[in-house]
Amino acid sequence: MNSSFFHILKAKKELIPLVGIISFAAVGALSFSAYSLFSKSDVILNKSSNPEPWENVDPTKPQKLLTIRQKWKPIEELEDVRKITK
């Protein structure tokens, strides 16, 4: 199979850029998925071990890939409710 793939690319050289672009896109998608899985706190695989993962998210750490002028202040009413329920 692998040798026939390269034979097709040798025969039809116009497919080489297409294969390169699709390979680059696939590597980029897999890289971003791995980055999100291991470095983002809002991405989880096993929800049964922690049924409320949003409680562990640090509000001072930006969760987006790019954050511009984000300011976070706690909402007093929500903090009061959280203290009562715990």
* Type of residue at 28: G
Answer whether 63's CB lies under 8 Å from 57's CB: yes
How far apart CA 34 and CA 28 sit, in angstroms, is 10
pTM (two decimals):
0.54
Of the candidates 26, 57, 55, the one whose C-alpha atom is nearest the C-alpha of residue 40 is 57
Tokens at 85, concatenated:
């329920």
pLDDT-derived band at 47 (thresholds 50, 70, 90) equals: low
Domain extent listing, the chain = 2-85
The residues, any chain, with a CB within 8 Å of residue 19's CB and separated by 6 or more, are: 9
pLDDT, one tens digit per residue, over 52-72 is 777 777 777 766 767 777 677
